Amino acid sequence: MPEPHRDTKSNIRFLKPDQVEAMRDAAHEGRQGARDDALITVLYDTGLRRAELAAVDRDNLDLDDGVLRLPSHVQKDYPNAGSPDPATLRLDPEGELKTERTLRVFLDQRDRDSAALFPSRKSDRITGKGINDAVKRAARRADVRPFTHVGRGETDDVTAHTLRHSVAYRMLHAYDGYTLYDVRNRLRHSRLATTEQRYDHFETV
């Protein structure tokens, strides 16, 4: 009998809000604390994929208006090979993540003049792998274990994509009034059916 696929609904890994806060605190134990806190916060706020965040430029961020503007070329193409429309994401719409303040602290300390929002210590632009490594370091320092619908994962299971799944969990469990349609818009799925296929089991019935 074949083994179940890792990407089934039951094995979607997610973190609860207090676990992400623990990761943000733990990020400051490293040499790139302000940067790692900022990138974890942006991932958890916006639901960006790691490759998308790596491609974001400083000029895409408008802290005066409190938004992140994503051109089409930054976003992942749809499965049908179509390109998504440009998107404007409001930062921290619930006012609890302090995304703008966290980004201002990071930008004030950033010592590299780079077009990229997130440079690395050795390059003008962090890579998707570098983003994932930062997330995993913070998870290990905070000793957080993700949740699934079949139990608990291990600390090393936490990735940047875990934070994307955690956006869906936070919207459907930490706040009132959000629906799968709102999750679909935040995560920029091409179809509502994609959101339903992945996250309808997050809803409480």
Q: What is the pLDDT of residues 137-194, one digit of tens each?
A: 999 999 999 999 999 999 999 999 999 999 999 999 999 999 999 999 999 999 999 9
User: Could you tell me the pLDDT band of residue 125, with boundaries at 50, 70 and 90?
Assistant: very high
For residue 148, tell me if it sits in a domain. no
Kindly state the average pLDDT of the residues 98-103: 98
Average pLDDT over residues 17-34: 97
CA distances from 168 to 4, 38, 66, 100, 149 (A): 23, 20, 21, 21, 14
> Is pLDDT above 60 for 3?
no
State the Cα–Cα distance between residues 35 and 125, nearest whole angstrom: 12
Residue 8, in any domain of the structure: no
With 90 as the cut, is the pLDDT of residue 2 above it? Answer: no
66 found inside a domain: yes
Count structural domains, the chain.
Answer: 1
Which among 18, 71, 51, 49 has a CA at the least distance from the CA of 128? 51
Answer yes or no: is 82 within a domain.
yes
Query: Which structure tokens are listed for 85?
Result: 């429309």
Q: What is the CATH number of the domain that holds 161?
A: 1.10.443.10
Residues 147/16, Cβ–Cβ less than 8 Å? yes
Report, as an integer, the average pLDDT of 34-48: 98
Task: Fill in the amino acid letter for 47.
Answer: G
In a domain, 6, yes or no: no
What is the CA 82 to chain-centroid distance, rounded? 23
Query: Sorting pLDDT into bands at 50, 70 and 90, what band is 204?
Result: confident
Q: Give the model's pLDDT for residue 112.
A: 72
- For residue 2, is it within any domain? no
In a domain, 20, yes or no: yes
Mean pLDDT (whole number) for 103-125: 91
Domain of 164? 13-143+154-202
